[in-house]
Amino acid sequence: MKLAVVGATGLVGTKMIEVLQERNFPVDEFIPVASERSLGKEVIFGGKAYKVVSMQDAVNMAPDVAIFSAGGNTSLEWAPAFAAKGTVVIDNSSAWRMDPTKKLVVPEINADVLTADDKIIANPNCSTIQMVMALSPLHKKYKIKRVVVSTYQSVSGTGAKAVTQLMGERVGEDVPKAYAHPIDLNLIPQIDSFLDNGYTKEEMKMVNETCKILRDDTIRVTATTVRVPVKGGHSEAVNIEFENDFDLIEVRNLLSAMPGVILTDDPANGKYPMPLYAEGKDEVFVGRLRRDETQPNTLNMWIVADNLRKGAATNAVQIAEYLLKAGIIK
């Protein structure tokens, strides 16, 4: 197994390497790939040091799998070059997600769509992944009509510079800014750029990706995404209207039975999901389950996950694991 990680020195790339090692993904030859400024740097994998190589050198090495976390433009330029060599690309950017010829995959939900012909596979947006993990079993049972979601997204979703800004502002240091506004003691109701409809790209990702992953274009989704002064872990308040009525006990059972979901819902004893306690974990945590008393067949819930793990690195590695298990890659 020859495996490349593209963007190996970045925040998500580093997490991907960590997750690959933790999950003992079988790698015989590891290829770390990064931008020109990182060429020649060493990356440790499996106790060995590997030198960072250029994109073209990595393409020439024809890895079996290349996990990308290097931005949309890089992916649009280089993923097809890897694919042409027979490499299966698992891409963490937004570049291919809504391409009708590409699969958008959360393994616990729709890995069955993958075939040997899929050479570029899209990893969904971090906020979408954790939300659909909770929505999927409920949609199968009750059929979702509409979702209203507000997100509380940590600075690690922006990258290392944003983490530096938050921690620097917290201690009064003058640090490089990832955001146009202060983030410590503040909330920024903008993630990504604004579109003509008044929504941000991040908000529309959640709208479009949810329907594609759940394979149902009739689901209506509206989102407000907010950056909060939290170092890691994304949280979401989600209001779900179903076509059919539900039983709260059954909802709990469905969520508890969903692989990769942990129900943490004991508010009387102060137990509910929080990003601080999701850090470093691969599961999606769901709590604060309660009926919306303002309209029928509607449920409120609170969803939390580590955005760098299940929201990015872990999901990508799980896709690779599925391909291996299914015999699509060998």
Residues annotated catalytic, as ranges: 126, 234
| Contact in structure between 124 and 97 (CB atoms under 8 Å) | yes
Torsion angle of alpha carbons 318, 320, 321, 326, nearest 10°? 130
Query: What DSSP designation does 200 have?
Result: B
Angle, helices 126-142/201-214, rounded to nearest 10 degrees: 40
Alpha-carbon span 129 to 311, nearest angstrom: 6
Per the listing, tokens 């620097």 go with 168
Contacts of 196 (CB under 8 A, 6+ apart): none
Alpha-carbon span 213 to 106, nearest angstrom: 7
